[in-house]
Amino acid sequence: MPSFRVETPQHCYSAIVERGVIGQVAEHLPKHTGKVFVVSTEDVWRHQGQALAHSLTDVPHEVLFLPGGEDQKRLAPLELLADEMVQRGGDRSSVVIAFGGGIVNDMAGFLAAIFMRGIPVVQVPTTLLAQVDAAIGGKTGVNLVSGKNLIGSFHQPFSVLIDPAVLQTLPMREYRSGLYEIVKAGIIREPALFEYLATHSDDVLTRKPGAIDRIIEDSVRMKAEVVSSDEREGDLRRILNFGHTFGHALEAETAYTRFLHGEAVAWGMRAAVYLSELTGHLSAEDSVEILETIQLYGPIPPLDGIPAANLLARLVHDKKTIQGKVHFVLAVRIGEVTVVSGIDDKLVLEAIRSSLV
């Protein structure tokens, strides 16, 4: 059973990658737990709930639903759910199981962070993107109209249970969205993973179990290492934002309705690669190789009609902007990135324009 340790000042836990682990969730709950609240969406519960419900047969639990969709990732639904938890017997000994994709992981994690000033959350991600990124590392929160994830908290999970078998029925668009995060993992720190993705796209896209397990394990190991070294994103963890600064601008500009998070990140990585080359950080050869590999896992939905100037204006509202300075994660070579600020807006605009065509 591949298991990757995340060791942070707040909490140390394992991210377990194992086919069938959804059927063993009860074994991974905290001891002497009170009422368990499974937080999911109706859609996820309909498709994947049976195995989890079976595992919880002997555990007193309730199932609560969040609305799906990035545009619904707001504070209001959490207040309703917290009230429901109280009415259904929730107290300080309760535990949340976050069962769903990245939006559920972020929202249910935040609910656990603030319910009665904090109760444990077990993350059980059901999309590829959530399995390799959102469920690990304790970032929880919701969006504001002004920007993505602008309210939130670091709330490390009690454990993370990743079942690659659930991905066989994941819609292709959702699957691709997660693959882009895995391409990111390769670019920022895992050259062998990048090489595998560049040369085994057929196996990955047809979801051969060996290929899926390998790319998930590499990505989870990398994320566990990075979060263990820098829980609060003061230093190394910033590399995980490669493509995200641009991507968040695109999501906000399109009111969170047109692109899945991974698709926005895929476009954002293209923009970051152009900027890396324009600023002299990345060779033309590596730039082409990265852009071609992103393309292998495409297509990214078309971006036509989105003005480059609007995206540039959005960048300053990202929460990674500190005292008005936008920090960009730029590629130096495949497997290495650096964080740079103070880049001339003209170059940023040129990178955005190049990536839009």
| 184 is a contact residue toward ligand GLY (CB under 6 A) | no
Size of the site for ligand GLY (CB under 6 A): 6
Rounded least distance, CB 298 to ligand GLY, Å = 21
Q: Which is nearer to ligand GLY, 205 or 236 (CB)?
A: 236
Q: Which range binds ligand GLY by CB under 6 A, 55-63, 83-91, 232-240, 249-257?
A: 232-240
- Looking at residue 46, the DSSP 8-state letter turns out to be H
181 is catalytic: yes
User: Which tokens hold the place of 249?
Assistant: 């601008």
Closest CB 133 distance from ligand GLY, rounded Å = 5
CB atoms closer than 10 angstroms to residue 217: 18
Catalytic residue, chosen from 61, 155, 223, 281, is 223
Buried b (16+ CB within 10 A) or exposed e, 310-325: ebbebbebbbbeeeee
Distance between CA 283 and CA 50 in Å, rounded?
50
Please identify which residue in 90, 109, 137, 262 interacts with ligand GLY, judged by CB under 6 A. Answer: 137
Burial class (CB in 10 A: 0-12, 13-18, 19+), 32: exposed
* Nearest approach, Cβ of residue 139 and ligand GLY (Å): 5
Instruction: Pick the closer one to ligand GLY by CB: 36 or 337.
Output: 337
Let me know: does 76 contact 16? Beta carbons within 8 Å.
Answer: no
Q: Give the separation between CA 123 and CA 157, rounded to whole angstroms.
A: 6
**In the complex with ligand GLY, which residue's Cβ is closer, 90 or 137?**
137
Interface with ligand GLY (CB under 6 A), residue from 106, 133, 190, 277: 133
Q: Which of 285, 349, 281, 283 is nearest to 315 (CA)?
A: 349
Closest CB 11 distance from ligand GLY, rounded Å? 15
CA distances from 215 to 160, 163, 277 (A): 17, 13, 27
Write the interaction track for ligand GLY spanning residues 93-112; mark x where CB under 6 A is met and - where it is not: --------------------
- Segment lying near ligand GLY (by CB under 6 A), choices 3-11, 32-40, 212-220, 233-241: 233-241
CB of 37 to ligand GLY, least distance (A): 24
Whether 327 sits among the annotated catalytic residues: the reply is no
Catalytic-residue membership of 184: no
Residue nearest to ligand GLY (CB): 240
244 belongs to the catalytic site:
yes
Catalytic (active site) residue 237: yes
In angstroms, rounded to a whole number, what is the distance separating the alpha carbons of residues 265 and 278? 19
For ligand GLY, the closer CB: 181 or 289: 181
* DSSP state at residue 35: -
Residue window 238-267: x/- pattern of binding to ligand GLY, with contact defined by CB under 6 A: --x---------------------------
Least CB distance to ligand GLY at residue 345 (A)? 25
Residue 94 or 143 having the CB closest to ligand GLY: 143
Give the span between the Cα atoms of 73 and 80, in whole angstroms. Answer: 13
How many CB atoms sit inside 10 A of residue 272's CB?
29
Strands 12-17 and 3-7: what pairing?
Answer: antiparallel
Catalytic residue status for 117: yes
Positive or negative, the CA dihedral 129, 11, 244, 212 is negative
Active site residue 74: no
Phi-psi map region of 197: left, alpha, beta (phi>0 left; psi -120 to 50 alpha): alpha
CA 283, distance to chain mean position in Å, is 28
- Using CB under 6 A, which of 176, 189, 237, 281 touches ligand GLY? 237
Sign of CA dihedral 231, 233, 238, 241: positive
Q: Which of 28, 61, 73, 139 binds ligand GLY (CB under 6 A)?
A: 139
- The residues of the shown chain that bind ligand GLY, judged by CB under 6 A, are 133, 137, 139, 233, 237, 240
Active-site positions read 117, 139, 181, 223, 233, 237, 241, 244, 248, 261
